[in-house]
Structure 1
Amino acid sequence: MTRELRAPRFLAALPAPVRWLAVPTALVCTIVVLIGSWSTPEKIETPNPAPKAAGYCRALAAALPQELYGHPRADPTPASPFVAAWASSPKVVLRCGVDRPEALNGPAAKDTAPMINDVTWWPQQLGDGGYRYTSTMRKAYVELTVPEGSFANPMDVVAALSPVVAASIPS
C-alpha cells in the first residue's frame, strides 16, 4: 500500500513551482534570521586615554575579577585593556580612561554621588532603565554601565568593583 503525499490545503491552491519552493524558501529565511540574530556584534566604544591614565587602566584591567556574582568575564573582541565586560544578561561593561562626562560641567555636578569603598561614583539613569556610573576624583575616569535587568540592584556591581578601582587608580 503506497501512501500519496499531498500538499496542505493552503499550498494546494498555488501553482506547482511555487509549492515546490515554498518550504525550502521558508527554511532558508528562518536560518538567515537565526544566524543574523546570533552574530550581531556588540559595539562598545574603546576609550583612548592619555598615557598616564592608560597605565592606571592597564593595572585595573589586570586586577579585575574573572567572575562577577557568578557571571564570567566576556570581554568584547578585539580585546582591550580599557574595556571589560561580564556575561550577565545584558552585559555589564566597564570602560577605563573615558573622558570626563560633559554633564559634570553643569548643574548635574551638584547631584549627590555616593562614595563606595573610597570611590565616588556619579550616577546617570539611562533611557532604557539601566544606570551608568562614572568614578570621579581619580587619576583616570572609569565608567560602569549596568543595564536594566542585568542585576536586581545595580549598586551591588558598583560595590563589588569599587575596591579594585580604589586599589588601581589613585585619587
Structure 2
Amino acid sequence: MSLHRRPVRLPALLALLALAGCTPGDSEARVDPPPTPPADVAGFCAALHKELPETVAGLARTPTEPESGLTAAWGGSAIVLRCGIPKPPKMADPKQEGVHVNGVAWLLEKLPDGGFRFTTGLRLAYTEVRVDKEHATDAGMLVGLSAAVAGTVPEGISSY
C-alpha cells in the first residue's frame, strides 16, 4: 500500500460528504405498534408522543412505518420507542436489573444482538425503548426520553 497522498478536489469532497449524509440510519423505520392499548393508556401515549425530543443520542427523529402515535424512532431504527405495550413478564422478576433516570425507573435487558431494551416501570403506561448495539453505550440516551415520560405518563402501576 502506498502512503502517497493525492490532493482531494473540492467536487470529490462535496460528493463524499453528500453520500455520508444519506446513510440508511436517516430513512424511515419499520416499527410494529403494540396491540391497541386501553383508552387511558393510549391517552398517556398520545401525550408522550407530543413531548418526545427531536434528537436522541445525537440522532434525528425518523418517520415510522406504519405511522402511529404509539411509536417513534431516531436515526432510522437505531433507537425505537413503543408506548402502550403490555406489561413485560420480566417485570415480575425481582432479579432483573434496572436504572433510574430523571425520576423514571427503567427495566434493563441486554438483547442477543448486543443492543438493549429499556422498559419503564411504575408508570400507568409501559414504554419500551430498543437501542442498537452502536448506540447502547451512550449513557445520556435516556435523559430526554425520561423527561418526556416523567412529564406525561403518571406514576403508578398499570393494570395493562
Q: TM over 0.5: same fold?
A: yes
SS at match of 1:73: strand
User: What is the match of residue 7 of structure 1?
Assistant: none
TM-score (norm 2): 0.73
Question: Is 1:157 paired with 2:144?
Answer: no
Partners of 2:94 and 2:87 lie apart in 1 by 11
- The structure with the largest helix share of the pair is 1
User: What is the match of residue 110 of structure 2?
Assistant: 125
- Contact 2:29/2:73 (CA < 8 Å) preserved in 1? no
- CA pair 43-70 structure 1, distance change in 2 beyond 3 A: closer
The amino acid across from 1:58 in the alignment is A
SS at match of 2:105: strand
Question: Is 1:169 paired with 2:157?
Answer: no
The amino acid across from 1:147 in the alignment is D
The amino acid across from 2:154 in the alignment is P
Question: Where do residues 70-81 of structure 1 align in structure 2 (5 Å cutoff)?
Answer: 70-81=58-69
Say how many residue pairs are matched: 128
SS at match of 1:114: strand
Unaligned runs of 5+ in 1: 1-36
Q: In terms of mean alpha carbon deviation, does 108-117 or 121-130 score higher? A: 108-117
- Contact 1:75/1:83 (CA < 8 Å) preserved in 2? no
User: What is the match of residue 86 of structure 1?
Assistant: 74
Question: Where do residues 2-81 of structure 1 align in structure 2 (5 Å cutoff)?
Answer: 43-47=30-34, 48-81=36-69
| Runs of 4+ residues deviating >3 angstroms | none
SS at match of 1:113: strand
Cα distance, 1:159 vs. partner?
Answer: 2.1
Between the aligned residues of both structures, percent identity stands at: 33
TM-score (norm 1): 0.68
Q: Equivalent of 2:131, from 137, 141, 146?
A: 146
- Contact 2:52/2:148 (CA < 8 Å) preserved in 1? yes
User: What is the match of residue 112 of structure 1?
Assistant: 97
Cα distance, 1:43 vs. partner?
Answer: 4.1
- The structure with the largest strand share of the pair is 2
Partners of 1:120 and 1:42 lie apart in 2 by 26
Instruction: Report 1 or 2 for greater relative contact order, CA contacts < 8 Å, sequence distance ≥ 6.
Output: 2
- Contact 1:71/1:87 (CA < 8 Å) preserved in 2? yes
Unaligned runs of 5+ in 2: 1-23, 156-160
SS at match of 1:45: coil
Aligned-CA RMSD value: 2.0
